[in-house]
């Protein structure tokens, strides 16, 4: 897999917290940063999808309405 090198400057406290978290997880700081970026990008994609759905202004149902219609509430 191709890759790029990214240099990031962290303040001392954040860097120490990252190093401690990496030690606790048994992973490298790079692995934790890569995972955090991947999760952020996935969240960003989800947010864009939700905003697109909301922009269509389609009718919706609350979860309690759906449970009631499915007979899941007594």
pTM above 0.75, yes or no: no
| DSSP assignment of 19-66 | HHHHHHHTS-HHHHHHHHHHHHHHHHHHHHHHHHHHHTT-----HHHH
Number of structural domains (the chain) is 1
**In-domain check, residue 53:** yes
**In-domain check, residue 52:** yes
**In-domain check, residue 60:** yes
DSSP state of 57: T
Average pLDDT score, the chain: 94
24-27 own/partner pairs: CB under 8 Å, 24+ apart: none
Q: Compute the distance between CA of residue 49 and CA of residue 42 in angstroms, rounded to an integer.
A: 11
Residue 58 has pLDDT above 90, yes or no: no
Segment 17-43, tens digit of pLDDT: 999 999 999 999 999 999 999 999 999
**In-domain check, residue 29:** yes
């Amino acid at each position: 897999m191709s890759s790029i090198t990214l240099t990031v400057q962290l303040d001392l406290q954040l860097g120490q917290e990252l190093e401690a978290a990496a030690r606790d997880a048994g992973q490298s700081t790079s692995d934790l940063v890569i995972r955090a970026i991947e999760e952020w990008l996935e969240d960003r994609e989800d947010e864009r999808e939700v905003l697109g759905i909301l922009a269509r202004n389609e009718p919706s149902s609350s979860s309690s309405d759906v449970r009631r219609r499915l007979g899941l509430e007594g």
